[in-house]
Amino acid sequence: MWVPRVDAAHLPQGVFLGTPDTHSPARYRWAIMSERDTQVKICGITRLQDAELAVELGAWAVGMVFFDASPRACSLAEGQRITTSLRRKVELCGVFVNAQMEEIVDVSEQLGLTLLQLHGDEGPSFCGEAARRTGARIVKALQVSGMADIQDAARYHTDFHLLDARSTEPGYEQLRGGTGETFDWALLAGRRSKVPLILSGGLNPGNVGEAIERVRPFAVDTASGTESAPGIKDPAKLRDFFAAVDRAAFASPAPATMPEETVSPGESSQEAMPSIGSTT
């Protein structure tokens, strides 16, 4: 089933069409940003009830993994239920790992995704082409084990950078996210990119407050840290996570907010976005 494009004449009040020649719903600047200082992305969603609770608690984005090897893989049928129910209420993020471009485009079109998280070995030109062909904003995810990984992210002029931990457990080094491991946040002191930062990797209700106070990212991302089992969210952990984010917001100055306009598919985010998670 293909999701129809939204005509500008039928846009809800408060929605801005990003560029005159872009008709994908993904390019609109939704007026749904949470009032909290640090946004929250809840990833590994496989059930509508979990996505609905995340939105009720104030999530900026919900992430659905379309990678069969993941224990948190979301079916297209459930993805359709989630996106149909929550469109215009939250950013709808599809997570892909080294998928073919046609698969990414097809899933994005079917579900009306507004964000694409590319969590594999996709290069800068691939990310740019995905943005051009889908109209979605791009989150380039990179695994971090040292400063070289932080510096490598600068090659990607995407809408967001998501920095995740590279697993140090024997046999798990090739896993892409959801490991429950953190990386050394002190490495981010050397980050100079102006692309908004989504901090990921082992975040849970017990450590997300410290992460926000030390890094001050645009958003924090959690998967395993708010689960009762892979792909199944724990309502109490979700509530505790949001509460911890809000407590941290009161304890530290607010980070920069999103700009008034989205980045066009061919525009460099480094020029259009404020400095987030950077020492500059």
27-82 pLDDT, tens digit per residue, is: 434 445 667 789 999 999 999 999 999 999 999 999 999 999 999 999 999 999 99
DSSP state for residue 174 in the 8-state scheme: T
Say whether 53 sits in a helix, a strand or coil. Answer: helix
Structure tokens at 137: 């904003």
Say whether 26 sits in a helix, a strand or coil. Answer: helix
Is residue 109 within 8 Å of residue 2, measured between CB atoms?
yes
Say whether 44 sits in a helix, a strand or coil. Answer: coil
Map out the domains of the chain as residue ranges: 25-252
With 0-12 CB in 10 A as exposed, 13-18 as middle and 19+ as buried, what is 133? middle
Kindly list the distances between the CA atom of residue 5 and the CA atoms of 9, 125, 159, 261, in Å, as whole numbers in the listed order.
Answer: 12, 25, 22, 20
Spell out the long-range contacts of 165-173 with Cβ–Cβ below 8 A and sequence spacing 24 or more: 165/200, 165/201, 165/202
pLDDT, tens only, 205-225? 999 999 999 999 999 999 999
Q: Tokens 């931990």: give the residue.
A: 165
Identify the CATH number of the domain defined by range 25-252.
Answer: 3.20.20.70
What is this structure's pTM?
0.78
Q: Which residues are catalytic?
A: 43, 164
DSSP state for residue 141 in the 8-state scheme: E
pLDDT, tens only, 90-126? 999 999 999 999 999 999 999 999 999 999 999 999 9
